[in-house]
């Protein structure tokens, strides 16, 4: 059961391509199967679950906060996860190393973290006064970089 929405979840993380294509027009995993239909991609699944239970507050407490949460989740996907992947994945063997791309990724990730640092200078949470999906997305986006490449020396 989902701790946010309370519904029974069936998240598909491995299935034959033919099965995935039938359930998802974009043929992507992960895939959430609900009674209403299927949802592909992790952020879409998370947005669905937090919006299914607005009382949990993870989507924000107002329409403005909800839009701000979406904005920061997109920031995590585009400005943090992309350069972090280009920098970290070659180190852990998930993709090939390309020196020029890796150097650009380092600069881009550091610039995005500076934006984040400035935003959080006088705040505890990304949006509003309590944890939201934006905070969760941020933690997920920065987990591998902080474990693998963003040591104390690099962060200075």
Containing 61, the helix (H) or strand (E) segment is: none
Give residue 146's pLDDT.
92
* pLDDT above 60 (res 53): yes
* pLDDT above 60 (res 1): no
Give residue 3's pLDDT.
60
Instruction: Say how far apart CA 134 and CA 32 lie, in whole Å.
Output: 20
Instruction: Say how far apart CA 75 and CA 138 lie, in whole Å.
Output: 9
* pLDDT above 70 (res 2): no
Give residue 99's pLDDT.
94
Q: How confident is the model at residue 10 (pLDDT cuts 50, 70, 90)?
A: low
pTM: 0.84
Instruction: Say how far apart CA 5 and CA 24 lie, in whole Å.
Output: 22
Summarised one tens digit per residue, pLDDT across range 79-104 is 999 999 999 999 999 999 999 999 99
Summarised one tens digit per residue, pLDDT across range 99-127 is 999 999 999 999 999 999 999 999 999 99
């Amino acid at each position: 059961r989902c701790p946010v929405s309370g519904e029974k979840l069936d998240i598909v993380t491995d299935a034959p391509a033919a099965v995935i294509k039938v359930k998802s027009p974009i043929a992507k995993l992960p895939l959430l199967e609900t009674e209403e239909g299927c949802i592909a991609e992790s952020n879409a699944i998370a947005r669905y679950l937090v919006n299914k239970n607005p009382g949990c507050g993870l989507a924000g407490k107002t329409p403005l906060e909800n839009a701000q949460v979406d904005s920061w989740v997109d920031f995590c996907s585009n400005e943090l996860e992309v350069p972090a992947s280009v920098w970290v994945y070659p180190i852990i063997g998930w993709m090939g190393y390309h020196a020029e791309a890796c150097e650009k990724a380092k600069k881009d990730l550091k610039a995005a973290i500076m934006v984040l640092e400035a935003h959080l200078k006088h705040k505890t949470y990304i949006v509003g006064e309590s944890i939201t999906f934006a905070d969760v997305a941020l933690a997920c986006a920065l987990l591998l970089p902080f474990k693998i490449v963003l040591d104390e020396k690099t962060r200075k």
